[in-house]
A and B are shown apart, each in its own frame.
Chain A
Amino acid sequence: MNLFDYFRPASLAEAVAAGSQPGSAYLGAGTNLLDLMKGGVLAPSRLVDLTHLPDLNRIEQLADGSTRIGALVKNAALAHDPDFARAYPAVAEALLSGASAQLRNAATVGSNLMQRTRCAYFTDPASACNKRQPGSGCDAIGGENRAHAVLGWSDHCIAVHPSDFCVALTALGALVEIEGPTGRREVAMTDFYLLPGDTPEKETVLEAGEMIVAVRLPPEAAAFAGHQRYLKVRERTSYAFALASAAAALKIENGLIVEARLALGGVATKPWRTQAAEAVLVGATPGKEAFENAAEAAFAEAKPSGENAYKIALGRRVVTRALMMAAAGTPKRMPALPASPFASETGANAHV
């Protein structure tokens, strides 16, 4: 880790002022930033420690029915907040399927949104990576890319966005509240992340000095509580990143889907909301046929970026299954293995 200056601002204004200076990086819990600094991937000259700022660690119900989550709220605290988990069960399930209990206790909501890709060529400073070093090339292309993106990639970058949380947030139309040198603004999750195009180093719309202060779930997001799930397929049962995941939320009235939300993880360069698939679902009878049609639509534009064609077939099935699970209804209790194909509400594997 490089030497850096450590600065602990007393106010948001102080934070933004410090964070606007070249070489500064905002420190949340540090579970991702410190990891990348230890790996020599990032070397900020100054860390602006946000963790002692007041007022950013609250979960609030707003009068209009939205829920506002402060950027410093811990992932675990959010997932285990009973009101939140009841209103947005797929978000809680996604949170609990990510990383480990220890990391969820440390990592913050804001940091999760700013999490960088797990692409091994990004985290290996000896490899060419346009995201880490613009213009250096992409060694993931033609390299070991079984886990890479099949949606949203470009000839400059095929790295997958690693978050689970953001997939569920994206499905539910969350908004990101941003504070910066020019004041406050808000951006929809779907617009917050950028496609790699020919500037993969630019991952979000954040400008220099801007920071996330909160994430907001709009009033309409609460309408899906009865039918929403997050499903995540991985190479081991827990403590692994997604090979493919999906957050599915349905509003079902009189036996018909009246509104649908669907976002994909593990397969795209950003949390991938698929409105084409949502459109297929609206007006359909919940069932395998409609869900398979939606899955087709979700992956209509997908193409392998390397040795990962299986992810297209897999992704479609994940979508279909996630929709089936959502249609079946949100479980009363968080499954023992959140988001896992081996999840069982009752702990059926309980033969100690």
Chain B
Amino acid sequence: MSDTIAIPAGATPASRTRFGSNSGQPMTRRDGVLKVTGAATFAADNHPEGLLHAVYAAATISRGRVTSLNVDAARAHPGVVEVLTPENRPPLALDPDTKPYPFAFLIEVLQDDTVRYAGQPIALVVAETLEAATEAARLLSPTYDAAPARVGLDAVEPYDPEAVGVGSPPTTEKGDIEAGLSAASQRVDARYETPGQYHNAMEPHAIVASWDGDRLTLDTPNQAIVMSTGSFAAWFGIPAENVTIRSPFLGGGFGSKAIIVGPQILAILAAKMLGRPVKLALRREQMYGPVGHRGATRQDFRIGIDGDGRLTALDHLTTAATSTFEDFIEPASNASHDLYATPALSSRHKAVRLDIGTPGPMRAPGEASGSAALESAIDEAALAAGLDPLEFRLRNYAETDPASGKPFSAKALRECYAEGAERFGWSKRPLEPRQMRDEAGRLVGWGMGTALFPAPMFQAKATATLRADGTALVETAGADMGQGAWTALHQIAADGLGLDIDSVEFHSGHSGLPDGGIAGGSGHTATAGSALHAAGTDVIAKLADLATNDENSPLFGAGNVGVEAQDGRLYRADDPGRSESYGDILARAGLSEIEGAGQGGRDPASAEERAMFSHGAVFAEVKVDPDLGQIRVSRLVGAFAAGRIINPRLATSQLYGGMIWGIGFALHEEAVHDRRSGRIMNANLAEYHVPVNADVPTMDVILVDEHDPYVNALGIKGVGEIGITGTVGAIANAIWHATGVRVRRFPIGLADLIDGASAH
């Protein structure tokens, strides 16, 4: 594929490699040179000939109708080519108010004058320059017929959702909660709240759409490239194969680039209407509306503890915000399913319909918010039981999955606790709060949290082609949004072929390649990696067939004992002295190449039998100014067991990243709505705070050995999301330990810690 990105050869020493020798190596990123030189091309970096710029106008009310748009003023602005409104918007092949395909979200594509949330696109301006399009969008000066906004979890009565997250049941019950609570010697009843949070990938969503007849080429960041060709195609009534998506790099995704969003469709529509390529990049403030967010939650716990510090009941009720027109219910209560052993477990969800953009999956959906609250509540329970928080967690260690009763495929959580606690120095922690000060008199607190995230797999395909010169090409339409797919998948692919990584060319990030599945759910490396590995072993099997059936090969007749692929050669399994290079085998067979194919996906039987999770333990130290309340995380240690780690350097970085999201969740991130207009008043990076470098102390990640024979043949789980879980609770618990103040509303700020605070 000529327009895929070629990854340059790395600096990996071409030492004699053994099967499996690429995986496990802490290689630097294969796309590193591209990224540090500015040569890595993100969607908005493209400039096809004749490009037009599109900017949409966004609603400034949260509910009602647009009554007028000054289209004349916009059209009169120099450079403006077209203004799309509900009045002239060309037809689409799908009805945006009907679910077009499973897991699609209803979107706003100028179907009518209704406003459902602030930030909704209400018109699109296309112009010769970005400056003209931007100003003309402003000149539209909409007027509205506005109805009162409903924002905040108390704005409307809750309802019982049919499903939570992506199709999960809203309620799970095991045992008798009321009996468990009655039998308890201690009770913790606590209410926690988490606000709406926004992905804020550094790369705002962008698209460059080019039509050639009924063929469509899109440069747009996408976490599920091949699947999305069908989704985009459906909107325009063309076959999926007519759509090409180029998404070599995503400037962060975190769940927000896995689904089709309205602005993308509008840009494609404009390109079709005008017969010229159109670029649309969201402005930062537009990232707080049509592209999803982590929905706000209120979480009510009822926890019973017996005299030995063991749970008698765990009841977790979440009330989550969703939009008025679509369901995405943050499945926060499900975080209580799989962590602590209890005879009675209940997880329930309610939802409220608000005048907000539809929430969606955001890094560790459900688990992040649920873990933040659960790990805080468990800390309260440990206090009630008079136990050290780690001891309390060990007493309630789940040997089998609490919700399903299934055995775990592997669970090295005990080791995570032990190694993390050792590295952190947890044993020196005083039980009581407000016991520690630093040299400057600041309050110091230590807290911990358990980390957990499911280890799912999806479906993926890959191909491998071994070439006459002994090098190979592997292909899968995977997505690198920073997690390191270009590197980790390449490492796995090289191992599948028994080749050094520099002998393997890796193509990805393009929809013309075999379906690499979705980069999400922390399942991409496992899924696409399994496909790539299988494609490689398919090639090796064919190669082995050729050699062992060829009288002229030193491997002739080795079919029964088998051969091993290693460093570009096949070896007789029982006699390493007999071997032949891939190139020689191909040459003798008169073949210029051998192709193989592979698929990745979970063995259904294994999935039925076992509960599959990554685990971890996070330990946090915070410092709090005793008078001013300002908080700083001074130390974080995370120990994680996530099966086989393909690239420790990159996995560590991903875990750091997740833990930093934990800092943001605990201390910074909150979308603040004006209660009257419903508008988000801090829809920017100056006031919606995400952690900056100075917020991040030295962190320590421990990769705990874990062999998981059931998750997949390679033993791979994922590390993309687990880092945020555990961390939020650890920080909140450390703040309690520093100050003695238990704050049950995130983010925790200095106003919560100032005596007599009236805010919050």
Asked whether the complex places CB atoms of A and B closer than 8 A, the reply is yes
Give complex CA distance A340, B396 in Å: 41
Q: Which among B14-22, B184-192, B679-687 touches the partner chain?
A: B679-687
Q: Judging by beta carbons under 8 Å apart, are A314 and B632 in contact? A: no
Q: Judging by beta carbons under 8 Å apart, are A1 and B131 in contact? A: yes
**List of A residues within 8 angstroms of B681 by Cβ:** 120-121, 124, 143-144
Interface size on B, residues (CB 8 A): 48
**List of B residues within 8 angstroms of A220 by Cβ:** none
Q: Which of A295-352 contact B (CB under 8 A)?
A: 304, 307-310, 313-314, 317-318, 320-321, 337, 340-342, 344, 348-349, 351-352
**List of A residues within 8 angstroms of B11 by Cβ:** none
Interface of B is mostly: loop
A233 within 8 A of B: yes
Q: Judging by beta carbons under 8 Å apart, are A236 and B440 in contact? A: no
A63 within 8 A of B: no
- Inter-chain contact count A-B, CB under 8 Å? 120
Q: Which among A16-24, A87-95, A152-160, A238-246 touches the partner chain?
A: A238-246
**List of A residues within 8 angstroms of B630 by Cβ:** 233-234, 340-342
Q: Judging by beta carbons under 8 Å apart, are A238 and B628 in contact? A: no
Give complex CA distance A164, B138 in Å: 32
Q: Whose C-beta in chain B lies nearest to the C-beta of A126?
A: B60
Least CB distance from B127 to A in Å reads: 13
B488 within 8 A of A: no
Q: Please encode chain B, from 672 to 690, with 1 for each CB lying within 8 Å of some chain A CB and 0 for all others.
A: 1111110101100011010
Q: A1-B131, A235-B750, A236-B668 are in contact. Are A313 and B694 (CB under 8 A)?
A: no
A146 within 8 A of B: yes
Interface size on A, residues (CB 8 A): 46
Known: A2-B138, A304-B758. 20 other contacts (CB 8 A): A126-B679, A127-B677, A143-B674, A235-B689, A235-B749, A236-B691, A238-B695, A307-B758, A307-B759, A309-B759, A310-B756, A313-B754, A313-B757, A317-B627, A318-B628, A341-B442, A342-B623, A342-B630, A348-B440, A351-B698
Q: Which of A38, A236, A348 has the most CB of B within 10 A?
A: A236
**List of B residues within 8 angstroms of A342 by Cβ:** 442, 623, 625, 630, 632
**List of B residues within 8 angstroms of A1 by Cβ:** 131, 134-135
Give complex CA distance A64, B749 in Å: 47
Q: Which of B118-138 contact A (CB under 8 A)?
A: 131, 134-135, 138
Q: Whose C-beta in chain A lies nearest to the C-beta of B283?
A: A38
Q: Whose C-beta in chain B lies nearest to the C-beta of A143?
A: B674
Give complex CA distance A217, B319 in Å: 57
Cβ-closest 3 pairs across A and B: A126-B60, A238-B694, A237-B694
Q: Whose C-beta in chain A lies nearest to the C-beta of B752?
A: A310
CB < 8 Å: which of A40, A118, A239, A321 contacts B628?
Answer: A321
B634 within 8 A of A: yes
**List of B residues within 8 angstroms of A126 by Cβ:** 60, 677, 679
Q: Judging by beta carbons under 8 Å apart, are A235 and B668 in contact? A: yes
Q: Judging by beta carbons under 8 Å apart, are B751 and A310 in contact? A: yes
B175 within 8 A of A: no
Q: A234-B630, A235-B689, A236-B667 are in contact. Are A313 and B677 (CB under 8 A)?
A: no
CB < 8 Å: which of A309, A320, A337 contacts B758?
Answer: A309
**List of A residues within 8 angstroms of B634 by Cβ:** 349
Instruction: Give me the interface of A with B, judged by CB distance under 8 Å.
Output: 1-3, 38, 40, 118, 120-121, 124, 126-127, 139, 142-144, 146, 233-241, 243, 304, 307-310, 313-314, 317-318, 320-321, 337, 340-342, 344, 348-349, 351-352
Q: A144-B674, A233-B750, A239-B692 are in contact. Are A40 and B138 (CB under 8 A)?
A: yes
Q: Whose C-beta in chain A lies nearest to the C-beta of B438?
A: A348
**List of A residues within 8 angstroms of B686 by Cβ:** 118, 240-241
Between-chain CB contacts (< 8 Å), 30 pairs: A3-B78, A118-B686, A118-B687, A120-B681, A120-B687, A124-B679, A124-B681, A139-B677, A143-B674, A143-B676, A146-B751, A146-B759, A235-B689, A235-B749, A235-B750, A236-B689, A236-B694, A238-B692, A238-B695, A240-B686, A307-B759, A310-B751, A313-B754, A313-B757, A314-B629, A317-B627, A342-B623, A342-B625, A342-B630, A342-B632
